[in-house]
């Protein structure tokens, strides 16, 4: 059963068509990777899926906002607050009561491995720790759909590995995940199915094995004629 | 509930920056102290006297010099006395005519209208003139008349001149600098993240607006209560004072909302905040009393909300007016607050709805 169904999604800014008739679905317990180079339209598509941007055309069928976890590309937490203060604030914005917010904050801190640094200002965290906190905020509301927009951008390999580990743990619990990245190795490690996107259009879709080629990088090169990290 | 949560977060974040602790909690009171001293709080009064050669005149001049807070300087003629008072070298002057020695005449007191200490010399002079007059000529009545208009009533606490202007200045300045928090929230994507959650856009905007108002109110209430406790400032009719404080806080909050919504990055917003936060109060009489402005500048000053706030507090503190006496000022400030919030809300909604 599809947790997320996107059909004919379109968004343009004056003459630039950022997303052009995009359509795909993510099933329960599935991790779906949206792959594309910078400027392919991934983040614009994500913004429409989570309701930040209004599409020009098309439709998005997703769980109610209270059941969607969104992890934006930028570290969207307050750097001057501690991790715990941030999580308590976002819990409140999800409508949780004090006791529930407190226990859920403790849970997600443990899940992303930040329990021992929870009361430090986020500004003092490494890039990888900030990214993990960014994910923790997206998990607060026990989502049925988790949308991760390039969650490992700009982090060191060790932190990236820790982030991928925690995403893999979560998908084992029946969570549907939409994951955008331009790192092929991440998509191959995490995703059950992959959609390759360029110029706002879905070029191909399938399991990494279905897409043929020795690996996804080669598939992408064949489909778009350019390197993924262009 | 979410609106209150956002307002509380805005207040808490303001104090996460330690420099704000100084600028919000300490700096206003330091400036009230300094300006209060400049306006004469605790100063020695310098009184110039032009007196006739007779014994009664001499006795009156000596009696005037007997006060511990008054230093008397003798001058040769009224022209020199007037020049010294006009230039501020002396707080006030007293002209004792030659006819005083023969049991009559009119003792004249020269003051500078905008110098609060000038007026403070009046109480002392009147008591001494009455006392000396009664001693020398018991049968002669002593009549005190005042000509001209004084903006500062006699006996006014010098800190009560400084405190209202500084309340207006810091409320507005803090509102604008704290708007940086809203700019940052948008720049780092927190506001967008919130709009992706189960919180309606109008709740997010209302929460940000409540945050701006909470910050402005915090600063204004702190200065009002702090100046009462530390410097004995009386703000006049409590209902009127609270009304002016509330409406001006809304103006500050509205200005913060508009600034926070208008800029995408913190750099330019802080420059504009400092420019407006310090420039408008200076133009509006918050640092130098409006009464000392020339007429064209006073008219120009009323393009700023500070001048209207200053007028309202002046009426309450110095002229004993109540709420009804400051209704015109409240109306102007109220309209301005509505306009600023409407513009800020519209701009923020546009920015967030992509």
Nearest to B249 by CA among B333, B182, B312: B333
Backbone angles phi, psi at B212, to 5 degrees: -65, -45
Contacts of A86 in chain B (CB under 8 A): none
Is the domain of A59 the same as that of A27? Answer: yes
- Among chain B residues, the shortest Cα distance to A53 is held by B354
For A78-105, write each residue's pLDDT tens digit: 999 999 999 999 999 998 999 999 999 9
Distances (CA, A) of B48 to A62, B51, B79, B268: 85, 10, 12, 52
Percent of chain A residues past pLDDT 90, beyond the cut = 39
Do A138 and A121 fall into the same domain? yes
Indicate whether A80 and A44 sit together in one domain.
no
Q: Does B193 touch chain A (CB under 8 A)?
A: yes
Asked whether the beta carbons of residue A80 and residue B16 sit closer than 8 angstroms, the reply is yes
| Smallest CA–CA distance from B354 into chain A, residue | A53
**pLDDT, position A78:** 94
| DSSP characters over B69-96 | TEEEEE-S-HHHHHHHHHTTSSSEEEE-
Tell me, yes or no, whether A22 and A50 share the same domain. Answer: yes
Distance from CA of B83 to the nearest CA of A (A): 58
**Separation between Cα atoms, residue B304 and residue B327, nearest integer Å:** 17
- Asked if the C-beta of B20 comes within 8 angstroms of chain A's C-beta atoms, the answer is no
Whether B198 and A74 lie within 8 Å, measured CB to CB: no
- Interface check for B13 against chain A (CB to CB < 8 A): the answer is yes
Residue A125 lies in a domain: yes
β-strands B45-50, B92-95 pairing: parallel
The last residue of one of the domains, among A95, A126, A143, is A143
Answer yes or no: is A50 within a domain: yes
Question: What are A10's strand-pairing partners?
Answer: A20, A57
| Nearest residue in chain B measured CA to CA from A123 | B16
Whether residue A119 is contained in a domain is answered as yes
Q: What is the pLDDT of residue B149?
A: 58
B193·A137 Cβ contact <8 A: yes
Largest CA distance in chain B: 91
Count the domains in chain A: 2
**Domain coordinates in residue numbering, chain B:** 2-38+157-352, 45-136
Interface check A53 vs B, CB under 8 A: yes
Any domain includes A152: no
Alpha-carbon span A145 to B4, nearest angstrom:
28
Judge whether B185 is closer than 8 Å to chain A, CB to CB: yes
How much is the average pLDDT of A70-79? Answer: 92
Residue B166, min C-alpha distance to chain A (Å): 29
Kindly indicate the confidence band of residue A184, based on its pLDDT and cuts at 50, 70 and 90: confident
Structure tokens belonging to residue A42? 């991934």
Separation in Å, CA of B207 to nearest CA in chain A: 11
The residue ranges of DSSP E strands in chain A, in sequence order, are 2-13, 16-27, 31-35, 57-61, 68-71, 145-149, 176-181, 193-198, 201-206
Q: Which residues of A touch B185 (CB under 8 A)?
A: 78
Instruction: Give per-residue pLDDT as tens, B71-93.
Output: 888 888 888 888 888 888 888 88
Chain B: closest CA distance from residue A53 (Å): 6
Domain range for A108 is: 64-143
Number of H helices, E strands in chain B: 15, 4
d(CA A139, CA A166): 11
Count CB neighbours of B54 within 10 A.
15
Q: Nearest CB to B196: which of A70, A75, A78?
A: A70
What residues in chain B have per-residue pLDDT under 70?
A: 40-43, 103-104, 113-120, 123, 134, 136-155, 354
Q: Which residues contact A66 (CB under 8 A, 6 or more apart)?
A: A94, A95, A141, B197, B198
Answer yes or no: pTM beyond 0.95.
no
Picking from A120, A143, A166, the residue at the C-terminal end of a domain is A143
Within a domain: A13: yes
Q: Is the pLDDT of residue A213 over 70?
A: no
- Asked if residue A12 is part of any domain, the answer here is yes
**Is the Cβ pair B16, A141 closer than 8 Å?**
no
Residue B146's pLDDT is 57
**Mean pLDDT over residues A105-122, rounded?**
91
Do A115 and A99 lie in one domain? The reply is: yes
Respond yes or no on whether ipTM tops 0.90. no
What is the structure's pLDDT at B78?
Answer: 83
Q: Superfamily assignment of B45-136 in CATH?
A: abc type-2 transporter like domain (3.40.1710.10)
Confidence of residue A116 (pLDDT cuts 50, 70, 90): very high
Residues A88 and A59 in one domain: no
Instruction: Give residue-wise pLDDT tens across range A159-172.
Output: 788 888 877 777 76
Q: Is B126 exposed, middle or buried (0-12, 13-18, 19+ CB in 10 A)?
A: middle
* Mean pLDDT within A35-56: 88
Reported as a single tens digit per residue, the pLDDT across B257-276 is: 999 888 888 888 888 989 99
Alpha carbon of B18: minimum distance to chain A alpha carbons (Å) = 11
CA angle B236, B321, B291 (to 5 degrees): 85
Cα distance between residue B20 and residue B293, in whole Å: 32
User: Which of residues B70 and A130 earns the better pLDDT score?
Assistant: A130
What pLDDT does residue B150 have?
58
């Amino acid at each position: 059963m599809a947790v997320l169904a996107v059909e004919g999604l379109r968004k343009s800014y004056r003459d630039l068509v950022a997303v052009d008739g995009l359509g795909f679905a993510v099933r329960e317990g599935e991790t779906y990777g949206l792959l594309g180079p910078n400027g392919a339209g991934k983040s614009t598509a994500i913004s429409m899926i989570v309701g930040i941007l209004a599409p020009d055309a098309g439709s998005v069928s997703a769980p109610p906002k209270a059941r969607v976890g969104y992890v934006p590309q930028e570290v969207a937490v307050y750097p001057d607050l501690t991790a715990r203060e941030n999580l308590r604030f976002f819990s409140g914005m999800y409508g949780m009561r004090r006791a529930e917010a407190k226990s859920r904050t403790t849970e997600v801190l443990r899940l992303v491995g930040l329990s021992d640094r929870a009361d430090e200002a986020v500004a003092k965290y490494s890039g990888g720790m900030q990214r993990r906190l960014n994910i923790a905020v997206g998990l607060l509301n026990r989502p049925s759909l988790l949308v991760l927009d390039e969650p490992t951008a700009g982090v060191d390999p060790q932190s990236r590995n820790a982030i991928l580990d925690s995403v893999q743990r979560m998908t084992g619990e029946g969570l549907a995940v939409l994951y955008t990245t331009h790192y092929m190795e991440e998509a191959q490690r995490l995703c059950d199915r992959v959609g390759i996107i360029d110029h706002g259009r879905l070029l191909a879709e399938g399991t990494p094995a279905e897409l043929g080629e020795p690996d996804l990088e080669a598939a992408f090169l064949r489909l778009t004629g350019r390197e993924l990290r262009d | 509930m979410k609106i209150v949560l956002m307002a509380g977060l805005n207040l808490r974040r303001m104090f996460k920056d330690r420099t704000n602790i100084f600028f919000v909690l300490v700096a206003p009171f330091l400036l009230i102290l300094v300006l209060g001293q400049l306006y004469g709080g605790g100063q020695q009064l310098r009184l110039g006297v032009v007196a006739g050669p007779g014994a009664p005149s001499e006795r009156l001049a000596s009696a005037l010099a007997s006060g511990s807070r008054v230093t008397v300087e003798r001058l040769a003629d009224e022209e020199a006395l007037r020049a010294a008072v006009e230039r501020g070298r002396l707080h006030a002057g007293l002209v004792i005519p030659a006819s005083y020695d023969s049991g009559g005449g009119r003792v004249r007191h020269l003051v500078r209208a905008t110098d609060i200490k000038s007026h403070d010399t009046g109480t002392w002079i009147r008591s001494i003139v009455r006392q000396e007059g009664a001693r020398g000529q018991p049968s002669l009545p002593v009549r005190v008349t005042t000509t001209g208009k004084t903006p500062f009533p006699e006996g006014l606490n010098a800190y009560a001149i400084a405190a209202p202007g500084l309340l207006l200045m810091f409320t507005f300045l803090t509102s604008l600098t704290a708007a940086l928090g809203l700019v940052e929230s948008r720049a780092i994507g927190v506001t967008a993240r919130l709009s992706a959650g189960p919180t309606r856009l109008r709740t997010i905007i209302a929460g940000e607006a409540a945050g701006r108002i909470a910050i402005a109110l915090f600063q204004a209430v702190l200065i009002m209560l702090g100046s009462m406790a530390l410097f004995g400032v009386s703000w006049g009719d409590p209902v009127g004072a609270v009304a002016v404080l509330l409406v001006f806080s809304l103006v500050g909050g509205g200005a913060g909302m508009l600034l926070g919504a208008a800029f995408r990055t913190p750099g330019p917003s802080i420059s504009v905040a400092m420019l407006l936060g310090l420039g408008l109060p200076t133009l509006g009489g918050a640092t130098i009393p409006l009464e000392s402005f020339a007429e064209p500048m006073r008219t120009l000053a009323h393009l700023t909300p500070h001048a209207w706030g200053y007028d309202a507090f002046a009426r309450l503190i110095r002229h004993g007016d109540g709420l009804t006496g400051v209704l015109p000022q409240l109306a102007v400030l109220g309209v301005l607050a509505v306009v600023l919030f409407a513009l800020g809300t519209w701009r923020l909604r546009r920015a967030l709805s992509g």
